[in-house]
Amino acid sequence: MSSNKIVICGAGGFIGGHLVADLLRQGHQDIRAIDCKPFDKWYQRFPQVENVILDLRGKEACEQALAGAGQVYNLAADMGGMGFIENNRALCMLSVLINTHLLMAARQAGVERYFYSSSACVYAAGKQTSPNVVPLKEEDAYPAMPEDGYGWEKLFSERMCRHFREDFGLTTRVARYHNVYGPHGTYDGGREKAPAAICRKVIQAKLSGKHEIEIWGDGHQTRSFMYIDDCLKGTQAIMASDIIEPINLGSSELVTINQLVDIVEEIAGVKLHRTYNLKAPKGVNGRNSDNTLILKYLGWEPNIRLRDGLEKTYRWIYEEMTTGKRPS
């Protein structure tokens, strides 16, 4: 029997909170939002949806979470930026419990569609040794040598989705996210990713008058960064599609970390003295998204310019740091 109930797992997180907001804008009403954090720690919370606190590492919690569900978005994971990932590999691996128990519960509940948020961290390290990286194609995940801990969990969970689809007929969709950023997310505390961390550091330097910034690594490592609005559009398009294999969801606009700092400095109207911490976690030397497949299947790819997305992100973090009031 068909159900209109949409369940967002990890709804108290950055992407999950934005997804709930977007579904509400579209007019969806039967939404269940789930996270393990206390409500006051959720990045966004909406009273018009069913908000539930559950630890989805447990099997019974997952069964409770998916009761009556038609569609499930699994965005739940214990994760953060490179500083967190490199120092918490066991915690990252334990997220395998979430996806495993959610898949079991989804099969039991007769869920119609199940989305899993994977990561570009699944890609083989040997393909990412140079800043002048060749964009990563989906096939480059094998032979497997992903990011230790976090990447292995994501790759294993992708396989779980595949086998639940093949063996049990559960309709699963998987997207490999490439560095999602935007407002209403972590910008301090150790779990933040590069765009938010750079925005915070530039704001701190500007407010303090101490015009210096520490950059992790030599600043030459390259990445692409996807603004949250593109992530939401792509996630829902992939969920509704016939794409059965994991697919890249990321911008192909490649920049160095130094160039990322350049853009944020320009937005802030400051120029800072840079120091480089070569002992800090920096991840692979280069990573970019090959969008050939998503263009083939959807006729679209993430296309919001980094400069435009960073301006909105910077403004939100600045307001948070200076007034605690979030801009509309």
Q: Which residues are catalytic?
A: 150
User: What separation, in Å, do the N-terminal and C-terminal C-alpha atoms of the chain show?
Assistant: 40
Q: Which amino acid is residue 287, in one-letter code?
A: R
The token pair at 248 is 């890249």
DSSP 40: G
Q: Where are the beta strands (DSSP E) in the chain?
A: 6-9, 31-35, 50-53, 71-74, 113-119, 172-177, 180-181, 212-216, 222-224, 226-227, 247-249, 254-256, 273-277
Closest to 244 measured CA to CA, from 177, 170, 295: 170
Q: Classify 54 as helix, strand or coil.
A: coil
Matching residue, tokens 């910008």? 187
Matching residue, tokens 């019974």? 60
The token pair at 10 is 């990890």
**What DSSP string describes 114-171?**
EEEEEEGGGS-GGG-SSSSPPPBPGGGG-S---STTHHHHHHHHHHHHHHHHHHH---
Q: What is the Cα–Cα distance from 59 to 77, expressed in whole angstroms?
A: 15
Q: What is the Cα–Cα distance from 74 to 103, expressed in whole angstroms?
A: 10
Q: How far is CA 202 from CA 83, 181, 250, 315, 324, in A?
A: 18, 16, 25, 12, 17
Q: What is the Cα–Cα distance from 298 to 225, expressed in whole angstroms?
A: 20
Closest to 37 measured CA to CA, from 64, 62, 55: 55
